[in-house]
């Protein structure tokens, strides 16, 4: 009797991964031990200790590692998390009236290198001329003091990053007015009426951004331990196939309007609107359909001082995942 490869798999608990978590979709040749985590815990454990065989990874942290040619994980073009990050930029509205006002100001971040922050800075640079070197970045925990950068950074002198005081948090500093803005994947906890989104209508801004660029930003990428790929070169393609099937499983359920699967009104209307704007395959996996997105990310990642060189798309993913069989 043939034995399957036992692998630990760490992912977020999304609808698009649920079929893998529950066992409704199998991975060819693999007996998976699936665990779910928050991004913060998952990425910390992956990039500090490479604890998992297969892991959802921060796109930014992985790009840092690939640029240095020290990545423990090989990329698979599965993108479990994607998001327009216009909702990630918060400002003190009593002093910031437009994006250009952020020049010369102090912006808090949980980590400079977070993927959400790369995309938010890209928006500020491309659409408003606010460059990373125009801002002083203050790094610290959103609600808990002392959060470190999960990986070592080697930023150019033009990028100014300060550590928040050891006892303080970004949310508290923003509330007091010690910061002019905040960028991050989670909202700040302060409830100050002078703190709010930079964009009055971030959804409209994101739709306009997509129409102009055709970019749906990638946040996370799947990785598989390099040593495993060397021994089992069939594994990256098997993972891509399974994660595609799991996503299709989720979309079929999402489209079943007889009884909505999401605890939110207007799901049917939102799904229709997304397909009208972005096409049926709006959350695509694979290299070919996302090459322009990865290229844009790599360009901004390098421009923001995070990667020592601009990483090529083909470096990011295992070659067996560039093409898939078709009937």
Is residue 145 within 8 Å of residue 172, measured between CB atoms? no
* Tokens coding 46: 């992956």
**Residue at a domain's end among 186, 213, 240:** 213
Which CATH number belongs to the domain containing residue 186 in this structure?
A: 3.40.190.10
Alpha carbon 314 to its chain's center: 19
Are residues 115 and 68 part of one domain?
A: no
Is the pLDDT at 1 greater than 90? The verdict is: no
pLDDT value of residue 137? 98
Spatial distance between the Cα atoms of 195 and 119, rounded to a whole number of angstroms: 21
Q: Which helix (H) or strand (E) holds 11?
A: strand 5-11
Is the pLDDT at 327 greater than 90? The verdict is: no
Are residues 143 and 64 part of one domain?
A: no
Question: What mean pLDDT do residues 178-186 have?
Answer: 97
**Residue at a domain's end among 213, 240, 273:** 213
- Residue 317 forms part of a structural domain: yes
Q: How many domains does the chain have?
A: 2
Spatial distance between the Cα atoms of 327 and 325, rounded to a whole number of angstroms: 7
Are residues 279 and 180 part of one domain?
A: no
DSSP strands (E only) in 37-175: 54-58, 73-76, 89-92, 106-109, 136-139, 160-163
Are residues 246 and 172 part of one domain?
A: no
Is residue 91 within 8 Å of residue 190, measured between CB atoms? no
pLDDT value of residue 153? 92
Are residues 305 and 273 part of one domain?
A: yes
Q: 77 to each of 53, 62, 94, 269, 284, how far by Cα in Å?
A: 16, 13, 42, 29, 9
- Residue 237 forms part of a structural domain: yes
Give me the sign of the Cα torsion angle 246, 58, 300, 209.
Answer: positive
Are residues 99 and 248 part of one domain?
A: no
Closest C-alpha to 319, from 76, 80, 79: 76
Are residues 186 and 105 part of one domain?
A: yes
Average per-residue pLDDT for the chain = 96
Are residues 199 and 96 part of one domain?
A: yes
Closest C-alpha to 46, from 97, 98, 8: 8
Are residues 126 and 93 part of one domain?
A: yes
**Residue numbers of the domain that contains 49:** 5-82+218-321
Residue identified by tokens 């952020």 is 102
Interacting residues of 176 by C-beta distance below 8 A, sequence separation 6+ = none
CA-angle at 106, arms to 101 and 107, nearest 5° = 90
Is the pLDDT at 275 greater than 60? The verdict is: yes
Torsion on CA atoms 191, 195, 199, 203, rounded to nearest 10:
-10
Are residues 78 and 169 part of one domain?
A: no
pLDDT value of residue 3? 87
- Residue 303 forms part of a structural domain: yes
pLDDT, tens digit (0-9, with 9 covering 90-100), for 290-323: 999 999 999 999 999 999 999 999 999 999 999 8
Band (pLDDT 50/70/90 cuts) for residue 326 is: low
**Residue at a domain's end among 169, 196, 213:** 213
Torsion on CA atoms 75, 324, 15, 12, rounded to nearest 10:
-10
Are residues 183 and 166 part of one domain?
A: yes
Are residues 227 and 114 part of one domain?
A: no
- Residue 327 forms part of a structural domain: no
pLDDT value of residue 323? 83
């Amino acid at each position: 009797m043939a034995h399957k490869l036992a692998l630990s798999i760490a992912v977020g608990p999304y609808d698009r991964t649920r079929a893998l978590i529950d066992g409704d979709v199998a991975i060819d040749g693999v007996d998976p031990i699936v665990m779910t985590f928050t991004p913060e815990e998952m990425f910390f454990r992956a990039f500090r200790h490479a604890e998992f065989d297969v892991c959802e990874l921060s796109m930014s942290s992985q790009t840092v590692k690939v640029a240095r040619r020290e990545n423990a994980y090989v990329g698979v073009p599965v993108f479990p998390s994607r998001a327009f990050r216009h909702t990630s930029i918060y400002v003190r509205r009593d002093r910031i009236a437009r994006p250009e006002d952020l020049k010369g100001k102090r912006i808090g971040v949980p980590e400079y290198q977070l993927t959400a922050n790369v995309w938010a800075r890209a928006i500020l640079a491309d659409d408003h001329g606010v460059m990373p070197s125009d801002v002083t970045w203050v790094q610290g925990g959103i609600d808990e003091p002392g959060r470190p950068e999960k990986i070592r950074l080697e930023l150019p002198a033009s990028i100014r990053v300060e550590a928040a005081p050891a006892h303080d948090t970004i949310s508290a500093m923003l509330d007091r007015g010690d910061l002019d803005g905040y960028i991050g994947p989670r909202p700040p906890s302060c409830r100050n009426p002078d703190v709010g989104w930079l964009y009055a209508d971030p959804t409209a801004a994101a739709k306009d951004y997509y129409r102009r660029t055709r970019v749906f930003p990638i946040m996370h990428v799947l990785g598989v331990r390099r040593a495993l790929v060397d021994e089992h070169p069939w594994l990256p393609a098997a993972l891509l196939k399974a994660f595609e099937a799991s996503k299709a499983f989720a979309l079929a359920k999402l489209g079943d309007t007889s009884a909505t699967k999401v605890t939110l009104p207007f799901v049917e209307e939102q799904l229709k609107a997304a397909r009208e704007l972005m096409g049926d395959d709006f959350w695509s996996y694979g290299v070919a359909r996302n090459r322009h997105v990865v290229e844009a990310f790599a360009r901004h990642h390098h421009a923001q001082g995070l990667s020592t060189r601009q990483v090529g798309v083909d470096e990011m993913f295992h070659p067996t995942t560039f093409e898939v069989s078709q009937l």
